[in-house]
Amino acid sequence: MTLTTVLQTRDTMLDSPPLLLLLLLFASPSGAQPPNPEQHKEVLISSSGQPFPWNHMRLPKTVSPLHYDLGIHPNLTTLDFTGVVRIQLQVHEDTGVIVLHAKQMQITEALLLAPEGVRPLRVLEYPPFHQLALLSDTLLTRGRTYEVLLGFAATLSDSFHGFYRSSYHTSSGAVRVLASTQFEATFARAAFPCFDEPAFKAKFTIRIIREPRHIAVSNMPTVKTVALPGGLLEDHFDTTVKMSTYLVAYIVSDFLSVSRTTQRGVKISVYAVPEKIDQTAFALDTAVRLLDFYEDYFDIPYPLPKQDLAAIPDFQSGAMENWGLTTYRETALLYDPDKSSPSDKLAITKVIAHELAHQWFGNLVTMEWWNDLWLNEGFAKFMEFISVNVTNPELHVDDFFLGKCFEAMEVDSLPSSHPVSTHVENPMQIQEIFDDVSYDKGACILNMLRDFVTPEAFEIGIIRYLRRFSYQNTVSRHLWESLTDVSAHVHTRGRACIFWTKETGNIRNSLDVQAIMDTWTLQEGFPLVTVEVRGREVRLSQERYLKTDEPSLTDGFLWQIPLTYVTSASSTIRRFLLKTKTDVLYLPQEVDWVKFNVDMSGYYMVHYEGDGWNAIINLLQHNHTVLTSNDRASLVHDVFQLVSLPVDVTMAVFTVGARTPEGWDFLFERYRTSLQMSVKSRMKVAMAFSPLQGKLTRWVRLRGEVMKLQDLPDVLVTISRNPHGYKLAWDFLRANWHTLIKKFDLGTSLVAYMVNGVTNQYSTTEMLDEVKLFFGSLTEETGSEMRCIQQTYETIGDNIRWMDAHLPHLQAWLDKRSSHTVHEDL
């Protein structure tokens, strides 16, 4: 049945007044997700001009998917695709409306497959929320299952998200096209209609139509291939385990592969373009070893029969953990023994370790909503170091963990930082939290917790957590409960450490892990612990460390800090839980020195008052090996953070340095390797102020390579304010306009920022005409109606009027002052 037939049937049915009243009733939000009273007043209008029956960004919970039967036919010549999805639904509340996601696609058919027969569904769309409403003329009854069939068509995306096209050149210069997916976080809806939120887990049975010259791979192995009329083939894949939509993946390409099996018989394959297949051996060996390690560490078998790793020529993220089909940038997977460096080997190993850790932590057990993204990413980042330290000890991966904590602290010391677990609602907010706080800070606080409760208790707690919540969704509390359960029963073995608490003054029996960790996940920032030793008495205080002179921004923060320390009298690692703003710790005896945050296992900085720093300096001068390399590195880090050069001094130095080719190149190398984000930010601006036009051109072209694409708007606007670069910035904006509005999304503040920032200093009629000529040539779809363009016209007009009125007087005054100064010098 076509969509036209569906709509005609539906229009006829709506002539019935009782049915119309019933549908209006169904348009009210379900009691399963009570709306905000203010939101309830708002009526959203669908793209067809009719009221849309749901007014929340999050989907209602009246129904949930059980199984998707998905058929996809990508055309790599016309660069579009068609598909049909059959979704089995469980109804939780009586309803006549099914709300799900779809983005930038045409719905060609919509049917309800009920036990009573096939019924048409009326389709309403609300594009701002990427939502479809399917309106049924029969009541869907609580407790029953139904099926919905949707036909759809769309264009293969030219971005890096959804179902997108990619290409590469062979050595002979031929262009090869492929299609691949990237669904995290909210882009499965751009590939097929679905309930695109992580809590809506379901099973997927996927079929892909392709040409014989291509192959298709997906999350599960192929069970059969069927020949179709016209010479096409259809691959049928086995049904997946229960999982979230963002983990679905498929690729249609001409890739080749190499394979091996793990100790338990899981087939591992690495896919790459044919001419690079000889660069896959290292990744294959690494993946086999890592999967074996994780099965042993988590004590849970990998649940799928295969694990593919695919190197995609065009890939924005470093890698993606799709269950059974992880995808990577080519540089993150391919290793050439003759040309790749040891640092390449380390980077590839860590990325594979990260994605395979997700197969358990993130895929098997998934956060309920994106506010707890850190449960996925922080843990996977943490497991990079735990796993690689065992599987590849020659890489000395432990040496690099501190760098991740330093990077996180750099971001986390800014007023604009956010809690590890932070409220997010819309897709833009979700994308923004894929940052150093979620990844690196998440890893660092997990490392701190592991060290405090002991590695043995931590591992047992993690195993219990994964077993208890397999194929389910969780919040942070569930992890803390699992770790609290075991922390009281597991004691350290083979290492000297003593736990102290203020309440008992002696060895602790148990820890309230949630009470501790909530202070690290629900508030932004980290503490600076100040230590003052007076005889046997150690006075402790804590405050938020923040790079600002505004004290109000540091008020109201309090952490439960798992302190660790050693002293000149004992190398035994002792522990003290600092729960209050100030506290006093009593040592068994007086000591020459005390060092807190042993091996920098804790996510906090330490300042020593009185003679504390002098005592440590004296120790380092006479016998620095008493402290580990991590201890020494943390001391250097803390000192430099506490006595940093003023920002204006370093900015001036960088700006002067960028005026010469040698200085610019030096800054570029420092920018590329620096771990200090604030320093990198100043370097970025200084290089954009350079008078060297060739360097400026190189700088904007490095977007997405050395410079993050997210930094491009700032760099472009800075160059536009450079007397030597304003024309370059304008030319770049015009030449790359269509790419920029796709990457940064038309109508967003970043697009407006670039438009206004690049043009607002223009003050001649010639430039105004040039600006109007360009923006006037745009269509509504490419931005002609944006408010920022009209604002630009008005601003340049004001500049011209000001210059006409005041420039002659200003020039005369300057000429007079210049002449007067010359006569005085003579």
Q: Give the whole-angstrom CA distance, residue 630 versus residue 615.
A: 18
pLDDT of residue 253: 98
Mean predicted confidence (pLDDT) in 368-387: 94
Q: What is the pLDDT of residues 221-245, one digit of tens each?
A: 999 999 999 999 999 999 999 999 9
DSSP state letter for 128: G
For domain 371-642, the CATH superfamily is Neutral Protease Domain 2 (1.10.390.10)
**Alpha carbon 826 to chain centroid, angstroms:** 64
Q: What is the pLDDT of residues 462-520, one digit of tens each?
A: 999 999 999 999 999 999 999 987 765 544 333 334 444 444 444 445 678 999 999 99
Q: What is the pLDDT of residues 241-253, one digit of tens each?
A: 999 999 999 999 9
Q: What is the pLDDT of residues 590-599, one digit of tens each?
A: 999 999 999 9
- Token pair for 107: 């719905």
Q: Give the whole-angstrom CA distance, residue 550 versus residue 376.
A: 34
pLDDT band at 103 (very low <50, low <70, confident <90, very high): very high
Q: Give the whole-angstrom CA distance, residue 555 versus residue 523.
A: 12
766 marked as binding residue: no
DSSP state letter for 802: H
pLDDT band at 807 (very low <50, low <70, confident <90, very high): confident
236 marked as binding residue: no
Q: Which is it for strands 51-52 and 106-114: parallel, antiparallel or unpaired?
A: unpaired
Residue spans per domain, the chain? 3-254, 256-345+354-365, 371-642, 645-733, 736-826
pLDDT of residue 12: 36
pLDDT of residue 826: 44
DSSP-based three-state secondary structure for 364? coil
- Residue 212's CB is within 10 A of a number of other CB atoms, namely 10
Buried b (16+ CB within 10 A) or exposed e, 351-389: bbbbbbbbbbbbbbbbbbbbbbbbbbbbbbbbbbbbbbe
Does the pLDDT of residue 543 top 70, yes or no?
yes
- Token pair for 721: 């304010």
- Token pair for 398: 């432990």
pLDDT of residue 495: 37
Q: Indicate which residues carry an active-site annotation.
A: 355
CATH architecture entry for 3-254 = Sandwich (2.60)
Same fold, 3-254 and 371-642: no
Per CATH, domain 256-345+354-365 is 3.40.50.920: no
354 marked as binding residue: yes
